[in-house]
Structure 1
Amino acid sequence: MLKTVAASCLCLLLLAGAPTAQPAMLVLDASGSMWARLDDRPRIAVAQDALAEALGRWPAGRPLGLVAYGHRRAQDCADVELLVPPAAAPAAVIAAASGLIPRGRTPMAEALRQAAAALGTAGGSVILVSDGIETCHPDPCAVAQELARGNPRLVVHGIAFALGDPTGLAQLRCMAEATGGRAFTARDAAELTEALARAAAASAPGPRAAAPRAEPVPPPRLTVTLRLCEGCDPINGEARILLRRGDTLIATDGDPFGRFFDLPAGVYTVQAETPLFRRPPVLVTLEASGIGRAEIILDAGWLVADVRTEPSGHDVTDSVRLEWRPLAPLPEEQRGTAARPSGSAFLVPAGRHGLLARTGNAEAAAEAEVAAGETVVLRLPIRFGTLALRREGFGPAMPRVTITPENADTPVFDDRPEEEVAMIRLAPGTYAIAAEQEGREGNALAEIESEATVEITVSAAE
């Protein structure tokens, strides 16, 4: 019931902007930080799903376009691209956004300029979604103010997605206020979908702040910055920060974004750890006054799995089990906190790594070299088919099922599936299927081909 009401509210919000058919441009963050996990999924995947849901209710006839940044090159402030000019069909925006691979920096100001230019003198709405701070322009708020002076019909809405950095929040709020727009925060997929709907509905500029400026942020006692490489943008969300005084753990992570407050003068150690690796501690001395700073270079990059079936190339990344395999074992003191991290994107130390994809008894493996600050997409072709298995005549309880490859002794499946039709993935080949329940037995053979579904019914023998 609640889900139905929420969907209805989203639909009404989106339709509220329909009469004017004012064009809109979506600006989507595809910087490297979008690989950080949110609810055990990369932020970029969460954002893509939320975008598809929100745009599924986009008002018919209202033009929509897409600008993205950080999706082609690392450490390049010019990596801003108009992917979809303002047009009446949102399907093109959904398709373009789904293909983005985060790689680089966060040039929000330049992306805002290009989105405004795409709208032209007639103006319209710019909906900016970002998970980080501007890392290329010294004053994105001034850019928004300049655009507002040049076009009274331009409005910018900022959505802070999984963003805890107060500087980043202040930047988005300031850009919105300069153009009479609104600022939203979204901590998860549901809130992002709602924020997109509300931003779409607020199509007309409201009162504009005469001279907006980012609000001052209270100074911390210690600021810790994590970077994948020398010159890389700061990262957040994937690595923990451990602050110790002597052997005592004082604080973790910082509140927020690597900022630690209320620390007395003294000597501290700062260490960064990720699910897969950790870096040696850094010594920091805090004086009686002033701000201490520490920077840790993780010397790491992103390894992203792209698992596709053969021969058609259908993407099945989200429905397989993935394992990271370091080709050179890490020393004990450098190992991370998770032996088997989940997800399809892995923050790995620079070097050569392997990934293994599994579904049923089908496997695919591949290796890649990852440099610090780099995003490597590793293709893993996999071959499997699906057995659609029914069981009849075994009584009220489902029988135990074993599935064994032809000419083998060890089964690859041994379970009591409860579904009326059990969908079981298997590598191509011939399999013997046996079902047993309280003395009732049944057998069948199945030939599995890649990307095909075979329907088999195992009946209990009379």
Structure 2
Amino acid sequence: MKLLITLFCALGLSIQTYAQQDAPSPILFIYDASGSMWGQLDGKTKKEIASEVLATSVSNLPENQNIGLVTYGHRTKGDCDDVEFMVDITNNSKEKVKNAVIGINPLGRTPLARSATMAINSLKERNTKATIILITDGIESCDGNICDVVTKAKTDGIDFKLHIVGFGLKESETEQLKCAANAGDGKYYDASDASGLGDVLAEATTETVDDPSDNFSIYAVKNGKPVDAWIKVVKAGTNDEIDGARTYRDTGWVYLPPGKYDMIIKPLESTKIKGTTVSIESIKDKIGHQTVSFDGGKINLTTLNNNEGWDCTSKVKTQKGEVVGGSRTYGKPKIIELNPGVYDIEVMALKIKGLKNKFIIEDVTVEATKTVDVSHNFQSGIAMIGVKSGDVLVDAVVSIKTKETGENVAGSRTYTSDSSNPREFMLNPGVYEVKVSAVKKEYAGKKETFTIEVKKGETVTKIISF
């Protein structure tokens, strides 16, 4: 009997221990209820947007997730001490948090440092850890520095992760907030609308204090400035995802066990450059870093006809034939931005007919941050084909094919207007066979075939008489 009791006790203890380990650490929201939350974005107040998005985020949390709520600025105007613990971190009711947020009336100031102090002190008093997520649409408006508060708390050994969401803030207002998030082992997120707020809260609520500490940072730049980029890390040579993040124009972090990985990075703004993949290695007990530049190279494409600027279409292809760029030149030099690599450029001259109105410029090497000049000069001449009967202009169909291959390259009608009879054809230099056939009944059966030679930069005229 003692043996059975002992076994049951041991089993009960192991189940209890497992349940405790399985329950996630609390998430504590610090919610902005300052007067500026009545400001509008896309026709709705920031208060409405934030409360709706936060309610959705809370609903998506695990059932066994404890959720607390600290609010500031909701009771008194101008009071820097207006900070309240509205929902304790021992709470496991999602409805309690959602109802509390909906009922908040924004009024006051933005005491970020004091709000963070209240939240962090609650963890110290309970000797527990938590993920703190601060949502603010403004900067500190009282006598405090949230970065100093968080830095000191970490020095004192308080265990927490702090994420900060700047809702509709300007870049110039984020320095102190980024400092605090970094000191709190978390991230600073920028959200400019409801969709952006939903995205960052979805990520912030999954990047919790229970996760291993991030040990690999990624910074993405273009032309020397940070860009928002999406990151996915997979085991080297596989599609097995290990971790992921976004940079939000700042440093993104992931956790990688020791080993070799492929890091897939795609820019989300400011560039037409496709993403890239780099090989990295995570080393035990070391913080890794990778700066990724999306600086591409450039092709300065110039298209000419008889040494003058000419409108052309262009396609830039990889060595495997994949089209990765291109544009119309409109007769002026055209900059095409690409990933570094070797490309073929297909250019086609507009208006020019013949066998040489398309050309492929092969093996163009593009290097990062450099511009390579590429040009092609087409050649053409003019053939003027007209049809008359005495002094009367005759409507006729004109068909032109090359003498060399017999391929039809141009055709049109002369009609009976001085503006189209003779009809102008712009052709590559060469010898052509021209067939002219009358259209009107009074000239039924009238036709003529002849040969002309078109020379570069010259005009040849042929008037047929029926």
TM class, shorter-chain normalised?
Answer: 0.3 to 0.5
Structure possessing the higher relative contact order (Cα contacts under 8 Å, 6 or more residues apart): 1
The structure number with the bigger radius of gyration is 2
Q: What TM-score comes out, normalization by structure 1 length?
A: 0.40
Q: What TM-score comes out, normalization by structure 2 length?
A: 0.39
